[in-house]
Amino acid sequence: MIDIHTHLGRIALNEPAVDEHELLRRMDELGIERTAVLPLISPETGFFPSTTEKVLEVYCRHPDRIIPFCNLDPRNGGNSPDTDFSKVLKEYKEAGCKGVGELTANLYIDDPRYMNLFYQCGKAHLPVLFHLAVKVGGVYGPADDKGLPRLEKVLSKLPDTIFIGHAMGFWSEISSKVDEKTRGGYPKGPIKSPGRVPYLLKKYPNLYGDLSAGSGFNAISRDPEYGYKFLEEFQDKLLFGTDICHVNQDVPIVPYLKNALKEGKISRTAFEKITRKNAEKVLNL
């Protein structure tokens, strides 16, 4: 399996950092051969940035297990929609980085500064992974409104950039039944009619879904029958991930997907694409 989403470093004040030994130990335990490690650098995210340089150091020690991402904040380099990110992206790509993210700057996702960064990531052939927030202020991540109109605008304006969607603001829209109260959380219950996420995944070849964290797992497991159908239907657009960022973190998606395969709820083809082949394609491995 290839995990599209993990972190290294200290996330919260009162808990130990996930170091490379803990990450590799969990990967061995869960049967994950390679994992993308995403730096976190925007001030909204936490007190302790986890830098691209640190991820690259760990990658150099474990090049067969770690897939490094780089991270940039759209406000880096002068807080302007005209900042030239091309040189830094080239430098990071040459150092081995396979994607950009997890993007957590809390601006609207169609803010000109984000559009500029997204455009340049597309030109550099680096996919972007974003944590979708439901508002500006009090949270982290690029923000959108209910129904994800801004994300749709971004996807259609920047067809050469690959976007990987993550977090509650994204996955709560798997169902059309979502409102201002539930869209920032983990809505439960059956999915009677598909929402904006399936619509956008179907319509835009440049959008993928990151199944990591409570948000991705909730989306595919809240209504298991719909979830299996969704995994099968979007087998070319989904990426397995854990979002490991705590020591001994619970990772229910691993047994869930393995059982779904064992019990014949999803095909082996879908399982292999979601847990490995799509990542190889999107990250150019």
Residues 118-147 that bind Zn ion (CB under 5 A): none
Torsion of CA 68, 74, 78, 79, to 10 degrees: -160
Of 71, 64, 87, the C-alpha closest to 8 is 71
Q: Residue 200 or 244: which CB sits closer to Zn ion?
A: 244
CB of 257 to Zn ion, least distance (A): 19
Q: Residue 20 or 102: which CB sits closer to Zn ion?
A: 102
Q: How far apart are CA 188 and CA 192, in angstroms?
A: 12
Residue 31 exposed, middle or buried by CB count within 10 Å (0-12, 13-18, 19+): exposed
Interacting span for Zn ion (CB under 5 A) from 45-53, 92-100, 142-150, 235-243: 235-243
CA distances from 224 to 198, 217, 265, 280 (A): 16, 11, 10, 27
CB of 80 to Zn ion, least distance (A): 27
CB of 15 to Zn ion, least distance (A): 15
Rule CB under 5 A: say whether 243 interacts with Zn ion: yes
Q: How far apart are CA 264 and CA 270, in angstroms?
A: 11
Residues 47-106 that bind Zn ion (CB under 5 A): 102
Using only C-alpha atoms, the chain has a radius of gyration, in whole angstroms, of: 17
Q: Residue 223 or 243: which CB sits closer to Zn ion?
A: 243
Interacting span for Zn ion (CB under 5 A) from 23-31, 88-96, 229-237, 243-251: 243-251
CB of 282 to Zn ion, least distance (A): 17
∠ CA 217-65-1, nearest 5°, is 40
Q: Which residue is nearest to Zn ion (CB)?
A: 243
Q: Residue 161 or 215: which CB sits closer to Zn ion?
A: 215
Cβ 69 vs Cβ 98: under 8 Å:
yes
Of 197, 194, 218, the C-alpha closest to 207 is 197
CB of 5 to Zn ion, least distance (A): 6
Q: Residue 167 or 207: which CB sits closer to Zn ion?
A: 167
Q: Residue 7 or 196: which CB sits closer to Zn ion?
A: 7
CB of 102 to Zn ion, least distance (A): 5
Enter the tokens of residue 144: 């959108």
Q: Which residues bind Zn ion (CB under 5 A)?
A: 102, 243
